[in-house]
């Protein structure tokens, strides 16, 4: 692969005439727009960053066999050549509502039955190569965000199964003096007229609860709120089966909720673990009408199948499970294999611990193991996408602090952060509070406890577009506004400048499409890094580190593509590089130096600018000026005259010997052929050096160019 890349490099002179005009303006046509660019080279106040710490990539859990295909010497070498030095490890088990046995060796809370609560061993007889997720048999959710092949026990029609809430949200554990009411809800495909509910309780049951309906058919309807049925308040509950007549007349219901306020604190016969009596358990729930004959007519579909059962969602889930619940189709790379692979490039790896579906003891054991092994770790994310799983932000904040209290004494030098948000712009779901920002609720919960300082970094994912059809160049421009809005909102919600901001995953969309494998992916990647870091962000991690194949996940109009640095061959091995690979190398090895402190410089554009243009400038560690210019227009060529502006506002020409690199349609093209889509050509950025008297740069459509110039 290295030889083929080198053979594609082109000499400097052929591109010199097209990209540098050495003091002579080109003949301008209607498709060329002249723009003046001034860089404040005297500035000393811009954000500073080190690419070896600020620009990385991540690996994720996957289906059975995914890690053996990914972590081969060939693939690791191909990924490392992208020069994205820091690594983040993503936790797919949390998305799949599963417990992570990060070490296959460990101890059950009930070892005789090989069930209960699992704690992986903080030692190992041999290096950990693979680890797995374990499904939760007390699950209450119909869907999840990973493999999505399980179902809710609330509506499965099986009286021997049940949902149980997370015991770590019980006052017996948290002792934070705040109520953490739990709940279960049903969503009907079409609204129903109902007046009754039947709850078959497990143990522990609720002694006080309310049955409610959402006042709108719209999840996020303005002013919508939960309304308690006229006869929906219950106190003195005794468990068993409760058939409740909720209203004298049927009520129009799309969403039904049972709000669980006080638990019985009872446990099944013979249970000795405190977690058995903490929380709430429900075997089955029905909702419908009581007919004239007094019989209950159930509108809920009960089936052990996520497609056949009525949709259910719950506030939390008990991480209790059994040895037989191992999911062979959800595996994570072993910790030893990850650290020894070389993907960390000798730098500390950002690691996660399970929170929503795990225990603090299991997390603590992992930290002890890492210290025993002597592995470099600096930052630990607590949980994975609690907002994307419709988790209650106050509940997550409580668990977050409980985990910090458990983990910090074990490794005081570590930085703990989160929430690894699916989006920093998430809204709470079916929330009566007019303030719908998930993040604001989370931050406020930390503030209310006087513990915002325990959020040592704020992490989130950035996939700006669900829909990657239509006018892609316009979306590239729109991303500027989305990122700016996101950064402003984080500040307004309390994530101040003293809390580092980290994008732990980024890409065009959470859904695959051809834009991810075409030139727009290069422009998006360059702009996300340039904009986020220049606006005070601390680090970005590319998602799609390993080789992959083109797929279409959501909208047919999006075509076939994927987040990936390389095309994968039939054995999953890295083949032809894609735009993200070429862009990564250009950013980290041409615009920037691979390591060392860089400082952003202010860039001022002339009045006749074009929104398709983005220009970023840095002072490199070697003292030279690094300029990155993006043209996101499909048709317009941009002619830039770049000057250095001093403190008095006087412009000076940038002269001397320069190094240039350019990546665009001449270097890369994609054949859009459905599942057989592939690169037509894939050359690295054209590069070279030359002497100049002043800097005039011609940016062709859909291209990015870097210039390294004298001071």
Bridge-based pairing state of the strands 651-653 and 458-462: unpaired
Whichever domain contains 251, its CATH number is 2.60.120.260
* pLDDT band, very low/low/confident/very high, at 20 (cuts 50, 70, 90): very low
Residues 329 and 286 placed together within one structural domain of the fold: no
Determine the Cα–Cα distance for residues 226 and 223; give it in Å rounded to an integer.
10
Residues 668 and 548 placed together within one structural domain of the fold: yes
- Tell me the average pLDDT of the chain: 94
655: in domain: yes
Residues 491 and 612 placed together within one structural domain of the fold: yes
273: in domain: yes
The Cα-based distances of 83 to 78, 79, 254 in angstroms read 10, 8, 51
The closest of 32, 35, 36 to 635, measured between CA atoms, is: 32
pLDDT tens column, 437-459: 999 999 999 999 999 999 999 99
pLDDT at 24 over 90: no
448: in domain: no
pLDDT at 27: 42
Residue ending a domain, among 278, 300, 320, is 320
Contacts of 165 (CB under 8 A, 6+ apart): 140, 182, 260, 279, 280, 281, 314, 315, 316, 317, 318
Angle at which helices 519-534 and 579-586 cross, to 10°? 40
The closest of 33, 40, 36 to 695, measured between CA atoms, is: 36
373: in domain: no
pLDDT tens column, 285-307: 999 999 999 999 999 999 999 99
Residues 340 and 291 placed together within one structural domain of the fold: no
Under DSSP, the state recorded for 599 is E
Residues 211 and 282 placed together within one structural domain of the fold: yes
* pLDDT band, very low/low/confident/very high, at 432 (cuts 50, 70, 90): very high
Residues 200 and 345 placed together within one structural domain of the fold: no
Alpha helical stretches, state H, 250-359: 335-340
Residues 314 and 329 placed together within one structural domain of the fold: no
Domain total of the chain: 2
pLDDT at 176: 92
Contacts of 100 (CB under 8 A, 6+ apart): 91, 93, 94, 131, 132, 133, 332, 354, 358, 362
Per-residue pLDDT averaged across 650-668, rounded?
Answer: 96
Bridge-based pairing state of the strands 206-214 and 251-263: antiparallel
Asked if residue 663 lies in contact with residue 582, where contact means CB atoms within 8 angstroms, the answer is yes
pLDDT tens column, 156-173: 999 999 999 999 999 999
pLDDT tens column, 498-557: 999 999 999 999 999 999 999 999 999 999 999 999 999 999 999 999 999 999 988 999
The Cα-based distances of 656 to 22, 66, 694 in angstroms read 10, 50, 8
pLDDT tens column, 384-398: 999 999 999 999 999
Determine the Cα–Cα distance for residues 191 and 59; give it in Å rounded to an integer.
42
688: in domain: yes
pLDDT tens column, 342-377: 999 999 999 999 999 999 999 999 999 999 999 999
pLDDT at 12: 31
Under DSSP, the state recorded for 313 is E
Handedness of CA 696, 702, 706, 711 (dihedral sign): positive
* pLDDT band, very low/low/confident/very high, at 711 (cuts 50, 70, 90): confident
Residues 542 and 613 placed together within one structural domain of the fold: yes
Cis preceding-peptide flag for 204 (omega within 30 of 0) = yes
Per-residue pLDDT averaged across 551-567, rounded?
Answer: 95
Residues 305 and 256 placed together within one structural domain of the fold: yes
Determine the Cα–Cα distance for residues 403 and 399; give it in Å rounded to an integer.
6
Percent of the chain residues topping a pLDDT of 70: 96
Per-residue pLDDT averaged across 198-224, rounded?
Answer: 96
* pLDDT band, very low/low/confident/very high, at 211 (cuts 50, 70, 90): very high
* pLDDT band, very low/low/confident/very high, at 19 (cuts 50, 70, 90): very low
**Residue 179 belongs to what domain range?**
163-320
Residues 185 and 70 placed together within one structural domain of the fold: no
416: in domain: no
Residues 606 and 684 placed together within one structural domain of the fold: yes
Asked if residue 417 lies in contact with residue 381, where contact means CB atoms within 8 angstroms, the answer is yes
CB under 8 Å, gap of 24 or more: what pairs does 170-179 form? 170/263, 170/278, 170/279, 172/265, 172/274, 172/277, 172/278, 173/274, 173/278, 173/402, 174/398, 174/402, 176/398, 176/401, 176/449, 178/394, 178/398, 179/261
The Cα-based distances of 666 to 311, 677, 700 in angstroms read 50, 18, 10
pLDDT at 607: 87
402: in domain: no
Residues 331 and 266 placed together within one structural domain of the fold: no
| Beta partners for residue 460, in sequence order | 421, 503
Residue ending a domain, among 304, 320, 336, is 320
Return the half-sphere exposure (C-beta side, CA atoms, 13 A cut-off) of residue 570: 0
> By three-state DSSP, how is residue 154 classified?
coil
Per-residue pLDDT averaged across 313-331, rounded?
Answer: 98
518: in domain: yes
pLDDT tens column, 246-263: 999 999 999 999 999 999
């Amino acid at each position: 692969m290295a030889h083929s890349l080198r053979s594609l490099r082109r000499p400097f002179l052929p591109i010199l005439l097209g990209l540098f005009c050495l003091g002579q303006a080109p003949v301008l046509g209607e498709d060329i727009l002249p723009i003046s660019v001034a860089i404040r080279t005297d500035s000393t106040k811009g954000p500073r960053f080190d690419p070896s710490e600020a620009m990385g990539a991540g690996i994720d859990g996957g289906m059975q066999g995914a890690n053996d295909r990914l972590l081969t010497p060939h693939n690791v070498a191909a990924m490392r050549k992208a020069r994205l030095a820091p690594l983040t490890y993503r936790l797919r088990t949390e998305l799949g509502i599963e417990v992570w046995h990060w070490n296959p060796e460990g101890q059950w809370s009930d070892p005789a039955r090989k069930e209960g609560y699992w704690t992986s061993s903080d030692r190992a007889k041999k290096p950990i190569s693979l680890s797995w997720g374990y499904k939760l048999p007390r699950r209450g959710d119909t869907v999840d965000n990973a493999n999505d092949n399980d179902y809710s026990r609330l509506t499965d029609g099986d009286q021997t199964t049940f949902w149980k809430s997370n015991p770590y949200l019980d006052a017996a554990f948290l002792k934070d003096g705040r109520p953490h009411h739990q709940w279960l809800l049903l969503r009907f495909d079409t609204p129903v007229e109902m007046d009754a509910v039947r709850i078959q309780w497990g143990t522990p049951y609720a002694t006080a609860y309310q049955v409610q309906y959402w006042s709108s058919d719209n999840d996020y309807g303005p002013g919508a709120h939960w309304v308690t049925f006229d006869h929906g308040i219950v106190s003195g509950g005794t468990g068993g089966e409760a058939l409740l007549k909720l209203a004298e007349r049927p009520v129009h219901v799309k969403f039904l909720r049972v709000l669980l306020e006080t638990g019985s604190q009872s446990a099944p016969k013979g249970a000795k673990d405190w977690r058995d009596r903490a929380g709430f358990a429900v075997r089955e729930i029905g909702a419908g009408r009581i007919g004239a004959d007094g019989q209950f007519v159930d509108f809920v579909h009960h089936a052990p199948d996520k497609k056949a059962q009525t949709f259910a969602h719950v506030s939390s889930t008990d991480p209790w499970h059994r040895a037989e619940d191992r999911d062979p189709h959800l595996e994570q790379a072993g910790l030893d294999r990850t650290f020894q692979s070389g993907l960390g490039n000798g730098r500390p790896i950002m690691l996660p611990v399970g929170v929503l579906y795990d225990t603090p003891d299991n997390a603590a054991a992992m930290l002890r193991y890492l210290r025993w092994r002597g592995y470099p770790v600096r930052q630990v994310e607590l949980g994975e996408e609690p907002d994307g799983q419709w988790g209650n932000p106050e509940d997550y904040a409580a668990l977050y602090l409980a985990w910090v209290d458990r983990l910090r004494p074990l490794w005081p030098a570590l930085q703990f952060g989160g929430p690894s948000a699916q989006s920093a712009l998430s809204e709470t779901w079916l929330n009566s509070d007019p303030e719908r920002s998930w993040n604001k609720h989370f931050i406020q919960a930390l503030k209310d406890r006087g513990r915002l300082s325990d959020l040592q970094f704020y992490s989130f994912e950035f996939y700006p577009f669900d829909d990657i059809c239509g006018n892609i160049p316009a979306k590239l421009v729109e991303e500027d506004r989305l990122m700016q809005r996101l950064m402003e909102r984080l500040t307004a919600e309390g994530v101040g400048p003293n809390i580092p901001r980290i994008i732990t995953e980024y890409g065009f969309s959470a859904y695959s499409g051809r834009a991810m494998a075409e030139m727009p992916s290069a422009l998006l990647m360059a702009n996300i890094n340039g904009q986020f870091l220049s606006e005070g962000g601390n680090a970005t991690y590319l998602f799609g580190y390993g080789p992959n194949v083109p797929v279409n996940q959501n909208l047919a109009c999006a075509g076939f593509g994927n987040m990936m640095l390389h095309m994968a061959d039939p054995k999953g091995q890295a083949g032809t590089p894609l735009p993200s690979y070429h862009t990564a190398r250009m950013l980290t090895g041409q615009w920037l130096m691979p390591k060392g402190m860089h400082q952003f410089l202010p860039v001022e554009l002339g009045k006749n600018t074009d929104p398709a243009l983005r220009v970023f400038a840095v002072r490199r560690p070697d003292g030279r000026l690094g300029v990155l210019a993006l043209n996101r227009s499909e048709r317009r060529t941009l002619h830039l005259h770049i000057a250095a502006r001093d403190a008095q506002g006087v412009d000076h020409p940038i002269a001397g010997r320069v190094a240039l690199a350019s990546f665009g349609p001449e270097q890369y093209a994609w054949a859009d052929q459905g599942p057989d889509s592939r690169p037509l050509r894939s050359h690295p950025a054209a590069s070279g050096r030359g002497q100049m008297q002043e800097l005039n740069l011609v940016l062709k459509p859909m291209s990015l160019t870097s210039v390294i110039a004298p001071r």
